[in-house]
Amino acid sequence: MDQGQSQDILHRFLSSKIIGAKDGIMSVVTLGENPKKLDTALLNTITTNASLKLNPTHISDWTILLGALQDPIAQILSEEDYTLTPDLEKYPRTNISIPSNDQESDQGGWATKFVSKATSPKTDLLAGKTVALKDNIAFASVRCTNGTTATSWTPTIDAPVATRILDAGATITGKAACENACMEGDSDTSCTGPVHNVYAYGYSCGGSSSGSGRLVSSGEVNVAVGGDQGGSVRIPASMCGIVGLKPTWGLVPYTGILSLEATIDHAGPMARNVRDCAALLEVMAGPDGIDDRQPCNLPKRSYMADLDASLTDCKPLAGVKIGVLSESLSIPGISEPIVTLFHRAVSTLRDLGAEIQEISIPLHADAAAVWMCSLPLSGAPTALLNASTGRKQLHLNDRAPLPALSQDSFDALGPGAQTLYLRYLYLRHTTPPAFHGKCTNLLRRLNDAYDLALQSVSVLLTPTLPHPPSKLFPDPSSHGPLERLSRNLNLVANTAPFNSTGHPALSVPMGFVPARDDEGVKLPAGLQIVGRKFCEGDVFKVGAAFEGSGDWKTF
């Protein structure tokens, strides 16, 4: 093509202004009247860094095509962001303070305290209830640590779940401590300090929603909101002797909550009984019109009314088919006292009228390993670099994305988050491009296996965790990452698979078991009830029936 032809093409581009509009899809929208050219040296730097060589005769074309971005970029950067604006008059927040000692923090449960109550609630569903928010949930003017000093952030928005809670008449009394970057199963990694188990000081509350578990268990609040990507609601629920639900993926909006990885993000209720758990879910559930995790046609359910109606009989589970997931009892290192408690719980459900059958899903045995390999490539950029491209959601632009972790940021992370980042670098360097896609396909196969099993039973049962809480390290930094993380080997074997598939999973307390290092120390253990997607009523019904059969603390 000679220079005259090139100039003719450029003239036609400029005279039309809009290129490719009739096709509906275009990469060049406009070149403008007087297109700016990209500096040739900059173009050379960009292509050299990408190991590309351009046709020398096309260089001028590319400086025009890329230079056309400069004015739109400047215009976009000058625009006011389109985000959420909190109504500080309707939802005031006062008495914001950071606890200065164990008494003020309830042995580490609180990250930040404040008081917020709507001036004109819409309902009274949570009237009189006090609520704690996990410290990865945005609440304007209140710091959000995410359990780490790697990034500092004070949000300017309120997460929709927080607004819904206030609209239901509750009082939010603070942010509950969470573990470092929400990537830990023990409660001694948060930047706000260790969180101690109510039943044995010096033992773990579980993570990453450690403070939420502690504050509900101790009675500091009636209910709390946790987050769950591998078990982070159900682990502390089990270890703290409370009820915790990971809802169906997409049922509760995750808008304004720090993401670990979109396909496994869940926010869920934590309470001392199933009915309060159902009440909090009822308030939080439903589409917000922003979060792309959510179906747009979710029906509104009255979980409390459904639950009350289902428990009127002396045999409340008559006709209910329950499957015992056999592979869940063969987790390497599973505690025999937990297995014993589990079988006792199954017998109790049978006495309540349930029809019990054993269900084998061989894929369950390897599911947590696939989850572990799937998470780094997509989760590390999201959780640690705040990258969220390709998503229709509220982007938290005041918490700016990072190109990579600095040394200081890496050092500020706990061993779980450091492991996630190093595994991300390792997998990106060593595995073929299709590796993450294959993990995703295998997890879909697991999903289909659970769905098939749930065609013959209403719910599946597993122990929530394979072993009791670990002892906290008085000085965690003096222990290496292998020692710290080894305390919880196979911890998420029965929880993480249901994050990947999105099935609802409820943990209810089923009794006490001895600590691994001291038989004289008794700690809670949980029963996990897994249901069909968007059938939270089924897991609540089974959980409440078991709860009503007797005081779990006597088991």
Residues classed as catalytic = 134, 208, 232
Q: Are 168 and 280 in contact (CB under 8 A)?
A: no
Chain centre distance of CA 140: 20
Buried b (16+ CB within 10 A) or exposed e, 395-426: ebeebeeeeebeeebeebbbbbbbbbbebbee
d(CA 247, CA 268): 6
The three-class DSSP label of residue 148 is: coil
d(CA 111, CA 204): 17
Q: Are 229 and 261 in contact (CB under 8 A)?
A: yes
| Residue carrying structure tokens 């006792």 | 344
Give kind and range of the element (H or E) at residue 227: strand 223-227
Q: Which residues contact 482 (CB under 8 A, 6 or more apart)?
A: none
Give the 3-state secondary structure of 374-442: HHHHHHHHHHHHCCCCCCCCCCCCCCCCCCCCCHHHHHHCCHHHHHHHHHHHHHHHHCCCCHHHHHHHH
Q: Are 104 and 150 in contact (CB under 8 A)?
A: no
Separate counts of helices (H) and strands (E) for the chain: 18, 14
Give kind and range of the element (H or E) at residue 164: helix 160-167
d(CA 473, CA 414): 13
What amino acid is encoded at 168 in this protein? A
Residue 232 has what DSSP assignment? Answer: T
d(CA 269, CA 147): 19
Phi-psi region of 298 (alpha: psi -120 to 50; beta: other; left: phi over 0): beta
Q: Are 267 and 284 in contact (CB under 8 A)?
A: yes
